[in-house]
Amino acid sequence: APLEVGQLVAEVVDHFRHAFERPFSVEVPPDGVWMLGDRDRLEQVLVNLLENAHKYSPAGAPIAVRVERTGEAARIQVQDHGIGIPGADQAQVFQRFYRARNVSHRNFGGLGLGLFISHSIVKMHGGSLALCSREGEGSTFTLDLPRMAAHEVRRLPRRVLVLDEDRGQEASA
Ligand code: ATP
Ligand code: MG
């Protein structure tokens, strides 16, 4: 179904703001970025990325989330200033049960499934998920999802498009 990415991201980040004492910032384009997708699954991807950013960052370190429109994509970036991922592990973190060498069950719990699941959901949507990270400095995950073109958005029913006055409410209300 059609969904506005900025609104979805803002909602998920708000949940994290309420759950954790940490500065979360979110930047979304004011005029919306639309895509076709499975809202619940995409929400799960965002939750996984934000959970990681939170889990692998020291208390109080800020997490920044940005949504932007690129040529063909709705781009979502989640940036943290946490432990980072060693270069030698970066290519493998999307594999099932893979955990980087700088994490252990003693310091950070986890199964190594979040990114594997997220990556499959993103692929199902025809998108990509990439990371840029430096051990000891932090990580940025970049999620690109095929977005709707302006002329496709214009063809959406009006009731779907009503969202801007009331971000945070269902776009289709
Ligand atoms: P879970 O299944 O509960 O999500 P997990 O967090 O270990 O467990 P993934 O989310 O799949 O598993 O992440 C895989 C690995 O990638 C992690 O174990 C960790 O080594 C690394 N990783 C992922 N995100 C980050 C991050 N933001 N900062 C540092 N390391 C990360
Ligand atoms: Mg995880």
* Mean per-residue pLDDT pooled into runs of 10, the chain (173 residues): 96 97 97 96 98 98 98 98 98 98 93 98 98 98 97 92 56 42
> What pLDDT is stored for residue 161 in this prediction?
84
CA distance 72 to 145: 8
> How many whole angstroms from 88 Cα to the centroid of ligand 2?
18
Cβ–Cβ contacts within 10 Å for residue 21, how many?
7
Model pTM score:
0.94
Tokens of 125: 């949507």
- What order do you get walking across the sheet with 63-69 strand by strand? 24-27, 63-69, 73-80, 138-146, 128-134
Instruction: Pull the structure tokens for residue 108.
Output: 């950070």
Region of residue 167 (phi > 0: left; psi between -120 and 50: alpha; otherwise: beta): beta
ipTM of the complex: 0.99
Ligand closest in space to the Cα of 139:
1
Gap between the Cα atoms of 154 and 74, Å rounded:
17
| pLDDT confidence of residue 106 | 86
**What spacing in Å lies between the alpha carbon of 111 and ligand 1's midpoint?**
8
Neighbours of 74 (CB within 10 A): 28
**Distance from C-alpha of 97 to C-alpha of 138, rounded to nearest angstrom:** 21
Helices 39-55 & 5-19 angle (0-180, nearest 10): 40
Q: Terminal CA-to-CA distance of the chain, rounded, Å?
A: 14
CA triple 15-16-18, angle to 5 deg: 70
| pLDDT confidence of residue 168 | 46
Residue 17: both structure tokens together = 């703001």
Q: How far is the CA of 94 from the centre of ligand 1 (A)?
A: 9
pLDDT at 163: 62
- Which atom number of ligand 1 is nearest to the Cα of residue 116? 11
- The tally of CA atoms less than 13 A away on the side-chain side of residue 146 is 9
* Number of C-beta neighbours around residue 84 at 10 A: 21
Look-up of token digits 């800020």 = 62
Res 162: pLDDT: 74
